[in-house]
Amino acid sequence: MSEYTTIVFILTASALFLFLLWAAVVSVKEKEKRAAWWFFSGAVVLPLMFLLPLFSESSFLDYFLLSLLAMMMIAGLLLMLPIGNNKNWRHPIPVKRIDERDTMFSRNELVSGSEDYLDYYARNPEKEKSDNIFRSKPGLLARGAVQYNPFHFASADASFDTVAEFKKAVDGPVAKEQVEVNAEQVTGYLKSWSKKLGAVDTGITELKEYHLYSVGGRAERRNKPIVKRHQYALAFTVEMAREMMMTAPASTVIMESAQQYLEAGRIAMQLASFIRKLGYEARAHIDGNYEVVCPLVARDAGLGELGRMGLLMTPKLGPRVRIGVVTTNLPLVVDEPLHDYSFIDFCIQCKKCAHVCPSNAISFEDEQEVDGVKRWQINQELCFNYWSVIGTDCGRCVAVCPFSHPDNTLHNLVRAGIKQSAPLRKVALKLDDLIYGRKPKPASKPEWADMH
Ligand code: SF4
Ligand code: SF4
């Protein structure tokens, strides 16, 4: 073996060792035991393989390993090429507005025998039988639910109660004197300030009719047509903590989602109030009081694409976010939507959420025509029936999604590759299954929250 070949093997072994050891340490920090085991094993076995020639006279081994190295480098380079990205793809624009009264949260509010109940099921007789299934179950945050935990359910309820206090002030009086604004400047200010308040990402879109529900379906907004009053919508995301979401469908999940409904609500309230003080109309859209369909607004504001679960898939946190929206007449500069086909292509192949869904609510099929556009839609009845049995909002699909991994260098390297190359998406998916499992088990609750 030449001196040059020896150096190549030592450098390769060192690079592999350092990379895999780093990935293993990151996995330990993420409490991903299975991944840590794979990376540690790789950090031992793969570098050793390239060090074998140092202890052998076999020239066959040298040639074999040099060929293997060459193939690895060629494969790596090929996988980095921008292939299969369908640059002309444009996400579909809804042709029909959603009636909020058809959402499960609205149907859950119907009191049996009431005027609204009779009216709704007179218009939708096919839904009454299936809705009576969730009505026969304990319900969300109920004592008899499978995941009942008095501490966690009370914590979640406390967050929902707090956000409910905001509801009466989502809109309000506008300052009489209008501050003159430069659209670019105030847009930049709003984006920076929303991040300072706790948002992960913020985008702006022109408000379209299809962003709004056609008719309200919750509380005092029930049965009232929703009219477009504003020109712009600002959408932002807040992160749902991974250590809580990975416990899905346990009680700690609804604690977290309620907490982030509250965070998103608080930020939206502050932003809307700020805009009104400048002398422009603004409304915060918060838990239980949305006039807009948040994922659609956030998608058009450039924050992500809609995936197999029908949720917003964001570039850095996948679906592990909650969305807040403020609609306004303040002049703003709009963002370009992503129109990023890589999310759709990945979802077509992945189906991990469908595999773990305990209620079979997520389709294994490709996108289908729904209300005139090609998209995925979950079976909301099956999903909500399951929530009503366990008492939490489940979240298994969100927890296992490969896009939900933490926003750190290791996973962002993979995300960059997934965005760039269709072949790499296939490889990344196989590796994700191998390293994290196709059906990862729910994680234990954080120690501080493990109350019985
Ligand atoms: S789990 Fe897979 S299929 Fe489901 S939303 Fe995430 S990437 Fe798409
Ligand atoms: S929340 Fe649970 S039941 Fe609902 S779609 Fe996701 S995995 Fe299925």
Indicate if 72 and 114 belong to the same structural domain. no
Q: Is the Cβ atom of 253 under 6 angstroms away from ligand 2?
A: no
Q: How far, in Å, is the centroid of ligand 2 from the Cα of 356? A: 8
- Does the beta carbon of 376 lie inside 6 Å of ligand 2? no
379 alpha carbon, closest ligand: 2
- How far apart (Å, rounded) are the C-alpha atoms in residues 402 and 433? 9
Inter-residue contact 215 to 100 (CB < 8 Å): yes
Contacts of residue 416, defined as CB under 8 A and 6 or more positions apart, other chains included, come to none
Report CA(355)–ligand 1 centroid distance (Å).
Answer: 10
Q: How far is the CA of 245 from the centre of ligand 1 (A)?
A: 15
In a domain, 53, yes or no: yes
Residue 42 Cβ < 6 Å to ligand 2: no
Nearest Cα residue to atom 2 of ligand 2? 394
How far, in Å, CA of 316 to CA of 416, rounded? 10
Task: Looking at the CA of 392, name the nearest ligand.
Answer: 2
Q: Which amino acid is at 10?
A: I
Mean pLDDT calculated for residue range 266-289: 98
Pair (160, 49) in one structural domain: no
Say if 90 falls within a structural domain. Answer: no
pLDDT digit string, tens, across residues 185-239 = 999 999 999 999 999 999 999 999 999 999 999 999 999 999 999 999 999 999 9
Same domain membership, residue 198 and residue 73 = no
pLDDT at 396 over 70: yes
The confidence score (pLDDT) of residue 1 equals 64
Do 11 and 112 share a domain, yes or no? no
Residue 438 resides in a domain: no
| Co-location of 67 and 115 in the same domain | no
Cα 406 to middle of ligand 1, angstroms: 15
The answer to whether position 281 is within a domain reads yes
Indicate whether 49 and 140 sit together in one domain: no
**Per-residue pLDDT for 183 more than 80?**
yes
Contacts of 39 (CB under 8 A, 6+ apart): 20, 21, 23, 24, 27, 435
Torsion sign (Cα): 58, 63, 66, 71: negative
Please give the distance, rounded to the nearest whole angstrom, from the Cα atom of residue 452 to the centre of ligand 2.
25
Domain membership of residue 389 (yes or no) is yes
Residue 223 CA to ligand 1 centre (angstroms): 35
Q: Is the same domain home to 72 and 34?
A: yes
Instruction: Give the ligand 1 atom nearest the CA of 349.
Output: 3
CA distance 36 to 14: 19
Nearest to 327 by CA among 248, 439, 213: 213
Average confidence score pLDDT of the chain: 95
Is 266 part of any domain?
yes
309 CB under 6 A from ligand 1? yes
Does the pLDDT of residue 131 top 80, yes or no? yes
Domain boundary among 25, 52, 80: 80
**Which of 15, 48, 80 lies at the terminal end of a domain, its last residue?**
80
List the structure tokens of 237.
């995301």
Q: Which atom of ligand 1 is nearest to the CA of 311?
A: 5
Q: Which long-range contacts (CB under 8 A, 24 or more apart) does 415-420 make?
A: 415/315, 415/316, 417/79, 417/80, 418/342, 418/346, 419/85, 419/315, 419/340, 419/342, 420/80, 420/81, 420/82, 420/85, 420/342
Cα(440)–Cα(353) distance, integer angstroms:
11
**Alpha carbon of 229 to ligand 2 centroid (Å):** 34
- Whether 310 maps to a domain, the answer reads yes
Domain match, 71 and 155 both: no
Per the listing, tokens 């409304």 go with: 283
pLDDT-derived band at 62, boundaries 50, 70, 90: confident
How far apart are the CA of 6 and the centre of ligand 1, in A? 44
Atom 4 of ligand 1, nearest CA residue: 353
The residue that leads in pLDDT, 244 or 63, is 244
Do 119 and 19 share a structural domain? no
For range 365-393, the mean pLDDT? 95
pLDDT of residue 78: 85
What is the per-residue pLDDT for 80?
86
Check pocket membership of 352 for ligand 1, CB cut-off 6 A: yes
Pairing of strands 282-285, 305-306: unpaired
Look at residue 434 and tell me if it is in a domain. Answer: no
Supply angle C-alpha 323, 312, 402, rounded to 5.
120
223: left (phi > 0), else alpha (psi -120 to 50), else beta?
left
Phi, psi torsion values for 103, nearest 5 degrees: -75, 155
Contacts of 307 (CB under 8 A, 6+ apart): 313, 318, 319, 343, 344, 347, 376, 401, 403
CB 316 within 8 Å of CB 304: no
Nearest one of 249, 213, 209, 252 to 231, comparing CA atoms: 209
Domain that holds residue 16: 3-80
Q: What angle do CA 211, 404, 448 make, to 5 degrees?
A: 110
Domain count, the chain: 2
Is 330's C-beta closer than 6 angstroms to any atom of ligand 2?
A: no
Same domain, 192 and 225: yes
Q: Are residues 267 and 212 in the same domain?
A: yes
Report the first-to-last Cα separation within the chain, whole angstroms. 64
Model confidence at 56, in pLDDT bands (50, 70, 90)?
Answer: confident
* Residue 101 confidence (pLDDT) above 90: yes
User: Does residue 355 have its Cβ closer than 6 Å to ligand 1?
Assistant: no
Nearby residues of 397 by Cβ (< 8 Å), 6 or more positions away: 309, 319, 353, 356, 357, 362
In a shared domain, residues 59 and 150: no
Here the tokens at position 420 are 């760039």
Q: Which residues contact 175 (CB under 8 A, 6 or more apart)?
A: 276, 277, 278, 279
In this prediction, residues 26-42 reach a mean pLDDT of 97
- Choose the final residue of a domain: 23, 46, 80: 80
The closest residue, in CA terms, to atom 8 on ligand 1 is 347
350 band by pLDDT with thresholds 50, 70 and 90: very high
Share of the chain above pLDDT 90, in %: 89
- For residue 139, give every residue at least 6 positions away whose Cβ sits within 8 Å of its Cβ, in sequence order, or none: 108, 145, 388, 391
